Amino acid sequence: MDNNDVYSAGDVFYESLVEIGRQSTVYSFNFNNLIIIFILKMLVLLFGGGLGFGFLGRSYETEQRWLDSNDMMFIMTYLVSDGLEKYDCLNKMACLDDYKAQDLVTASSMLLKGAKYLQPFFGIDTSKYETITYGLQDAIHYKREGGSCRYKYTCNMLPSL
């Protein structure tokens, strides 16, 4: 991370909870979001070697935890962004933590391919998730090209991000 790209995990988590509560007093939790997040995390762990298998020939030198603070920040940022259907904060989070975001993009690409395969049978609409995945990919590419996340991505809902 650049010196300008430092954020406090606790502040972002707290602001996410406040923003979710502020979005609506009758905020209906989308159960599909929870399932998608769980499946993405399982794919990251399974194919990234986090469960000890490392199917793709990749394994971590240190033991990977099931859920760390960056996972929670991605989850909360996704929930805030999805509630407003604006993904600027999620893209900024992906830019700030491009390695974690790359794992999530890889897993979401796998899910999208599977959903497209099943689309004729179940009528699954993947356009929203494709847009989110492409935005994350752009943010990762921007960071790896040397761009500053603070200047390109704004996130008014989570000021400490």
Q: What is the pLDDT of residue 58?
A: 44
Q: What is the pLDDT of residue 24?
A: 55
Q: What is the pLDDT of residue 21?
A: 66
Q: What is the pLDDT of residue 25?
A: 41
- For 140-158, the pLDDT digits (tens) are 999 999 999 988 998 888 8
87 CB-side CA count, 13 A:
19
Stretches where the chain sits below pLDDT 70 are 1-10, 13, 20-32, 34, 45, 47-66
Q: What is the pLDDT of residue 18?
A: 73
Helix (H) or strand (E) holding 111: helix 98-122
Q: What is the domain partition of the chain in residue ranges?
A: 28-152
Q: What is the pLDDT of residue 65?
A: 64
**CB neighbour list of residue 58: distance below 8 Å, 6 or more residues apart:** 47, 48, 49
Axis crossing angle, helix 69-84 with helix 31-48, rounded to the nearest 10? 140
What SS3 state is found at 153? coil
User: How far is C-alpha 63 from the geometric centre of its chain's CA atoms?
Assistant: 21
